[in-house]
Chains A and B, each alone.
Chain A
Amino acid sequence: MNTDKNPTALIAEDEPLLAAALQTELARAWPELQVLALVGDGASAVTQALRLQPDILFFDIRMPGLSGLDAAAELADAWDSAAPQKPFPALVFVTAYDQYAVAAFEAQAIDYLLKPLQTERLRKAVTKLQQALASHTQPALQFESTLAQLRGLLGASAPQAATPLRMIQASVGNAIRMVPLNEVVYFEAADKYIRVLTTSHEYLIRTALKELLPQLDASVFWQIHRGTVVNSACLDAVTRDEAGKLSVSLRGRRERLPVSRLYSHLFKAM
């Protein structure tokens, strides 16, 4: 834990030379900044960020295991209960090349750095971070705006399909079962598959959730977690537990599904 007033940072980058180079460049551009740790994958980034609670996160986008964007979303989910006193860290994403993300970043306030790092560009990012840390914006408001931006970035990876899907075609043995979309209660990502759950059946389709999402009508099918998309027509009740976590119950299914912090804006009492 940092007890002094110096700002702190965490660097998540899977290429060791690049992590070290970013640290060196930061030391030059911002001598007071204290880099608490270097991590090489998304999952470690989440655990270390929760443990160290830095002021700033430098996340590489393409990392093994969990991408930088997914790691940030996961961190946002766990932040409230792990560090209720501490404002959510300022995020800076780092990427070598990503045709979707870079366009999305242009529209967002979250900063991003392109590899190879340009010293002048890093200086600008540092100035922006210093201003953000100095301005005492209400942490709660800031967190909400960070969440909104993360949602924008995560949704930007694939453009919306022109014609929404009408049927889920799931192979069952030798047959292909046609499941009308309005019978689907929810989708759940399972590795490279998606579980498709209706009130009475469960099917498995070999698609990534990332590919399915753009084909669904976003006003009907709501993403409530990194791996969960529910049919809003089947939503029954939303409850908050002692730790402040939201979960939903669905008509026709007995299990409760957790709502990630990133998507809790969907459920506000009227």
Chain B
Amino acid sequence: MPAVSQAPCRWTMRALAQRSLPGLSVNTVIALLLTAFGVGDFGVNLIYSHCIGVSIWLLIEAALYWLMPEPDLQWRRMYLLVPLSVVLGYAIGLYLAAALLGHPLGWFGSGPPRVVLGYLLLSLIAGGTLSYYFMSREQLASASEEMALASARTETAQRQATESQLKLLQTQLDPHMLFNTLANLRALIATNPVAATEMLDRLNAYLRATLSASRATTHSLEAEFERLRDYLELMAVRLGARLQYSLELPPELSQCPVPTLLLQPLVENAIGHGLEPKVEGGRITVRASRSAGQLTLEVQDSGIGMARGDAATDGFGLSQVRERLASAYGELASFELRSDQASGTLARISFPG
């Protein structure tokens, strides 16, 4: 946005007037110096100095405006542009001043070539210095603008990262699940301390796994199934007879690597959207199998299923699973969700392993 607003703002009358000030002062100083060194009358010097200086300045501004609107290219071309403008501006200014004062043309410029070259050199030094001053000032301004823009961009990116992390944490630690689990724990402490201790251990393992799980790492299928068991055990205490579950992991697959807690959102959905809303409850089966180099993981529930079209509107959990599969295996992974209200939902993940 600032890059766009900078362009029109550079060419307003106000901006031009502001840029003319240093040049006008330099012109006056030159006239003063010439007078001090005994060259002519101050009034005449002042008029010549301003006519030449303003001509050079306007030529440079015009060249910048018409020829090179992109600020990036200006810097290098100034080496050519400033000397050209100085020579041309010197001639125009000279003519202008002579016309103003009624001098014969070439009055100021007449004299030995050494003197004329001297004036030209003086104009070149003044023009060059002023141009350098303006260019570096503008470069500095645009650099700091860019820095502000970049830091704003970093800030936005950081905020987005924090937000998505917070959302992830919120889905991992569903407050409804957490407080209900604590309520069950509180009930068990009085009635069955042994079961309470076991539940606390499960909760501990579940919390540690979800809070420390890095999305980038993998662990063994055996570890994945152990974490699912922690969660399912907690839910089994809560739902009582309404939840049955089985975890089917063939021993030869136990060491296969999988992204950490990949299946967790699927199991949570199976309970939260499948079994919990069903009065009589049901069963969850999680199973792993391998054929032809493809590892297949399934989460099946006998819950209420989804209405047609529900699968299209992925929740946060499902989009997490898709994203992680895509980043880990790309095109080689597949994820399908089959559901109907009669038999429940089946989620199937397949990837090389």
Contact = CB atoms under 8 A, between A and B. Distances in A.
A43 B279 CA distance: 9
Contacts of A24: 190-191
A115 B276 contact: no
Nearest to B239: A15
Contacts of B182: 115-116
B187 interface: yes
B74 to A, nearest CB: 48
Contact of A17 (B176, B187, B279): B187
| Residue of A40, A43, A193 with most chain B CB atoms under a 10 A cut-off | A40
Interface in A1-51: 14-18, 20-21, 24, 40-41, 43
Main SS of chain B's interface residues?
A: helix
A20 to B, nearest CB: 7
B interface residue count range (under 10 / 10 to 19 / 20 to 34 / 35 or more): 20 to 34
A64 B180 contact: no
Nearest to A42: B279
B277 A115 contact: no
B279 A64 contact: yes
A115 B183 contact: yes
A interface residue count range (under 10 / 10 to 19 / 20 to 34 / 35 or more): 20 to 34
A17 B239 CA distance: 9
Contact of B277 (A65, A98, A116, A193): A65
Contact of A114 (B179, B185, B242, B279): B179
B322 interface: no
A41 B279 contact: yes
A64 B183 contact: no
Nearest to B238: A15
B188 interface: yes
B179 A17 contact: no
B32 interface: no
A206 B183 contact: no
Given A15-B239, A17-B188, A18-B184, A65 B179 contact: no
B240 A17 contact: yes
B38 interface: no
A32 B179 CA distance: 29
Interface of A: 14-18, 20-21, 24, 40-41, 43, 62, 64-65, 96-98, 114-117, 191-193, 206
